[in-house]
Amino acid sequence: MGQARPDTRLKIQGAATVLFRRNGYSGTGLKRIATEAEAPFGSIYHFFPGGKQQLAEEVIRTSGAEYGQMVLALLDSVPDPVESVVHAFQAAADHLTATDYADACPIATVALEVAGTDEVLRVATAEVFAGWVGAGEQWFARWVSDQDAARSLAYSMIMILEGAFVLSRAARDPEPLRVAGRSMAELLRTAIDRAGRRPNR
């Protein structure tokens, strides 16, 4: 049966990922997801018996993990840690402008919307953010020996990035992301200097 094909499931999840990120949870209907995925409407319930909530939870967890890995890859692509932070924020600015300010953080839109209305999705977004903080803490700990300082830098990077996305999307201008990158780089430079460690791998 066509709706049982695994690639149909991937198409549904992919379409939902884009639509939730751009339009939010309430602003995205299952019929629109099915249309964008070019899938029979009933196939959504075949693969996601829990309906929209189950689909959204899987999208949050999957896209969140993938985004976190992408950011770490960007940070690892430049040897100097301070320069790599600037590079990562610039890459985010470039991607945002390339998508006409439609694609930013894959979970932020949903996270803000469901924080007080859907406990299942709130927990999913909270766990994704916690995973990002943990991974960021490990990355910053390469350059800053104090674990509390490394965790603070991880929190700061996520908060600065999310805030910059909001400003850039509202203004349709990548400059807030560029400024945010420079600010985050300065925070890291200060932490490295305070720790007395040279930024070499």
DSSP designation for 78: S
Domain ranges of the chain: 59-195
Alpha-helical (H) ranges within the chain are: 6-23, 30-37, 41-47, 51-76, 81-98, 108-114, 119-140, 147-171, 175-195
Contact in structure between 93 and 158 (CB atoms under 8 Å): no
Closest residue by Cα to residue 187 from 89, 79, 82, 88: 82
- Backbone phi and psi for residue 138, each to the nearest 5 degrees, phi listed first: -65, -40
Assigned superfamily of 59-195: Tetracycline Repressor, domain 2 (1.10.357.10)
Cβ atoms within 10 A of the Cβ of 196, count?
Answer: 7
Residue-wise pLDDT tens for the chain (201 aa)?
444 576 999 999 999 999 999 999 999 999 999 999 999 999 999 999 999 999 999 999 999 999 999 999 999 999 999 999 999 999 999 999 999 998 889 899 899 999 899 999 999 999 999 999 999 999 999 999 999 999 999 999 999 999 999 999 999 999 999 999 999 999 999 999 988 754 444
Number of residues assigned to the chain: 201
Q: How far is CA 177 from the centre of its chain?
A: 14
DSSP designation for 146: -
